[in-house]
A and B are shown apart, each in its own frame.
Chain A
Amino acid sequence: MSDLLRSLDPGTPSDPRSYVERAEIDASLRGPVLLFFCSGIAWLLLGSLLGTLAAFKMSFPHLLDSADWLTFGRVRPAHLNIMIYGWASSVGIGVGIWLMARLCRVALRHRGLLMGAGVVWNLGVLIGTVGILAGQSRSIEWLEFPGWATPVLFLGYALIGVWGVIMFRFRRPGHVYVSQWYLLAAFLWFPWLYATANTLLIWQPVQGSVVGAVNWWYGHNVLGLWFTPIGLASAYYMIPKVIGRPIHSYYLSILGFWSLAFFYSWNGMHHLIGGPFPAWMISASVVASIMMFIPVLTVAINHHSTMRGHFHYLKWSPTLRFTVVGAMTYTLVSLQGSLMAIPSLNNLTHFTDYTIGHAHLGLYGFFTMTMFGAMYYIVPRLVGWEWPSATMIRWHFWLATSGIAIMVASLTLGGFLQGLELNDPEVLDFLSSVRVVAPFRFIRACSGILLSAAHLVFAVLFIRMLLRHGVRQVGPALFSAPEKPGDLPAV
């Protein structure tokens, strides 16, 4: 039997080897994955605070403006970069490491490399954030960290990328699951994007309008080729595992991955419709954006068909609830993004809060919710302890879901009305477009309080989990334990 066919043999239920293997892999991953999760949650709390403050400053401009470092021009980019590099990237790396080791079916190699990478990465985020708050922001969206923070971040990430390649190289021979494809692609694409953007914008800076092209190429691709593959890798693993049913169509999942790989990198230029660029560049980007219907619909159909007949599990599984909300939002935000590339609609939404709502729907509604779902699955397996409070998980879910729903609805509607004002030739007063969006911005700021509360609840729950607080429960994370406890190595 070939390695590939052998990898598809699930073994027999009485075989203790799979229990031991699973426990060994989880035990080897504990330190590095929890390092990325802990630091990610700390950055999430700080980023939420800064984001809410920046949002309220849109309604009350003089709020806390006595100190330079608390002015809008510093707080807003600090929020943005903390969320991208501190929260989303850290938790994405943690989930990616766990999934990669599980799917490669080998215990963690080079643990010190990952721990070192985690420390260096967080150091890069810290000095970058301090740099922004000190007034050293680069004014390039998604790349505001000062130039001297960039090499630190790149070094941290390079170590992680090297680890990913090593893990894949030494995986147990056999079939490469679709989540592994997504993860491997993300681990390779991100350093490529980051290095290229920094080379063209910082070390050998291009001039004029090309800055905008590079900026949007990076900004869009970091969402689509870094966060999206990690989020989808997690969804393709968590949904089947939680409901105990394989993916509906593996053919569709493969088609979805390869079409994303071929089409996505051309998407970013649709943000520059009407700008001073060669027409063919914009046209190619619009076409590629519409082609994104293929990977998005394949993922949507596949996830929905896998879940069919199992939707009642959403009542009982926190992992599934967060992941399915994230997966459904992926469909919504991706289709919205493709439609926003159509020039007639782009004319209306460009330069408005509509785009900001779209970005929040992608990074929070899709990616962050999916990551929360993954963490609810992974952490009990790492610490050998069940989540201490179902009530707190429910609070976390409903605060996060209602918060992001209100935020996106207010930004979308406000942005739409703002766009109508900006495009109305009868309206000569620019301030009228600001006035029309003002109440929506206040609602958006209030929704930030809900999200911050959700993050606080999750952080408390996570700390209780690490401290093994509460009564020990025989929970679902552990209910596949072998009949003979001696078969498991100590964790």
Chain B
Amino acid sequence: MTAGLVLLLLGLLLLSGSAFAAFCWAVGDGQLEHLERAPEVIFDAAEPIGEPGDCFPDARSRAAMAKAAERP
């Protein structure tokens, strides 16, 4: 096996190793806890859950989307 292949294999192991190190940090930092509420983190008072955030810039699309958002 050439030196190039050894270097390549080292690169592969380092890439996977970096992922493993990041995983260990995530576990230690508590990032894998409270996952039930984690998806809500991107919403806030300005862009709350239940409010659609985009539509085509014409009146018909806006009205239809607003109506759909009012559905239970």
Known: A213-B8, A262-B16. A244 touches B53 (CB 8 A): yes
A162 within 8 A of B: no
Closest to A103 in B: B42
List A contacts of B12 (CB < 8 A).
217, 265-266
Question: Which residue of the partner chain, among B8, B22, B41, B44, contacts A261 with CB atoms under 8 Å?
Answer: B22
Interchain CA distance A202-B42 in the complex, whole Å: 43
Q: Is the interface on chain A under 10, 10 to 19, 20 to 34, or 35 or more residues?
A: 35 or more
List A contacts of B61 (CB < 8 A).
315-316, 390
Question: Which residue of the partner chain, among A250, A265, A319, contacts B39 with CB atoms under 8 Å?
Answer: A250
List B contacts of A377 (CB < 8 A).
53-54
Closest to B9 in A: A281
Known: A189-B15, A254-B35. A243 touches B52 (CB 8 A): yes
Known: A262-B19, A388-B57, A390-B58. A8 touches B37 (CB 8 A): yes
Interchain CA distance A290-B2 in the complex, whole Å: 27
A430 within 8 A of B: no
Interface string of A245-267 (1 = CB under 8 A from B): 11100110110001001100110
Interface residue stretch chosen among A11-19, A62-70, A83-91, A332-340 = A11-19
Closest to B5 in A: A210
- Give the dominant DSSP class at A's interface: helix
Q: Is the CB of B46 within 8 A of A188?
A: no
Tell me which residues from 20 to 60 in chain B have a Cβ below 8 Å from any Cβ of chain A: 20, 22-23, 26, 30-58
Q: Is the CB of A242 within 8 A of B5?
A: no
Interchain CA distance A379-B20 in the complex, whole Å: 36
Shortest distance between the CB of B22 and any CB in chain A (Å): 7
Most B CB within 10 A of own CB, among A11, A243, A262:
A243
Most A CB within 10 A of own CB, among B5, B31, B33, B57:
B57
Q: Is the CB of B40 within 8 A of A251?
A: no
Interchain CA distance A244-B65 in the complex, whole Å: 12
List A contacts of B48 (CB < 8 A).
10, 13, 244
Interchain CA distance A17-B44 in the complex, whole Å: 10
Closest to B40 in A: A246
List A contacts of B42 (CB < 8 A).
103, 177, 179, 237, 240-241, 246
Shortest distance between the CB of B70 and any CB in chain A (Å): 12
Known: A10-B48, A319-B54. A175 touches B31 (CB 8 A): yes
Q: Is the CB of A315 within 8 A of B64?
A: yes
Q: Is the CB of B41 within 8 A of A477?
A: no
A434 within 8 A of B: no
Interface string of A195-213 (1 = CB under 8 A from B): 0100010000011101001
List A contacts of B33 (CB < 8 A).
4
Interchain CA distance A316-B30 in the complex, whole Å: 39
Q: Is the CB of A473 within 8 A of B8?
A: no
Q: Is the CB of A242 within 8 A of B68?
A: no
Q: Is the CB of B41 within 8 A of A7?
A: yes
Q: Is the CB of A12 within 8 A of B45?
A: yes
Interchain CA distance A317-B19 in the complex, whole Å: 35
A144 within 8 A of B: no
Closest to A389 in B: B57
Q: Is the CB of B56 within 8 A of A317?
A: yes
Most A CB within 10 A of own CB, among B22, B49, B54:
B54
Interface string of A363-390 (1 = CB under 8 A from B): 0000000000000110000000011111
List A contacts of B64 (CB < 8 A).
315-316
Question: Which residue of the partner chain, among B22, B56, B65, B69, contacts A393 with CB atoms under 8 Å?
Answer: B56
Interface string of A391-432 (1 = CB under 8 A from B): 001100000000000000000000000000000000000000
Interface string of A180-191 (1 = CB under 8 A from B): 000001001100
Question: Which residue of the partner chain, among B1, B36, B45, contacts A11 with CB atoms under 8 Å?
Answer: B45
Interchain CA distance A477-B54 in the complex, whole Å: 6
Q: Is the CB of A206 within 8 A of B2?
A: yes
Interchain CA distance A176-B27 in the complex, whole Å: 12
Interchain CA distance A242-B56 in the complex, whole Å: 12
Tell me which residues from 201 to 234 in chain A have a Cβ below 8 Å from any Cβ of chain B: 206-208, 210, 213-214, 217, 221, 225
A125 within 8 A of B: no
A275 within 8 A of B: no
Question: Which residue of the partner chain, among A214, A261, A480, contacts B51 with CB atoms under 8 Å?
Answer: A480
Interchain CA distance A318-B55 in the complex, whole Å: 6
Interchain CA distance A176-B39 in the complex, whole Å: 10
Q: Is the CB of B19 within 8 A of A313?
A: no
A467 within 8 A of B: no
List B contacts of A200 (CB < 8 A).
4, 7-8
Q: Is the CB of B39 within 8 A of A214?
A: no
Most A CB within 10 A of own CB, among B23, B30, B41, B64:
B41
A312 within 8 A of B: yes
Q: Could you write out 11 A-B pairs with CB less than 8 Å apart?
A: A4-B33, A8-B41, A174-B41, A175-B41, A225-B15, A237-B42, A243-B52, A244-B69, A246-B40, A266-B16, A319-B54
Other than the given A5-B34, A22-B44, A225-B15, 19 more pairs (CB < 8 A) read: A13-B45, A13-B48, A15-B45, A175-B38, A175-B41, A177-B41, A179-B42, A188-B18, A241-B42, A241-B43, A241-B47, A244-B51, A313-B65, A315-B64, A316-B64, A317-B65, A389-B57, A476-B62, A480-B51
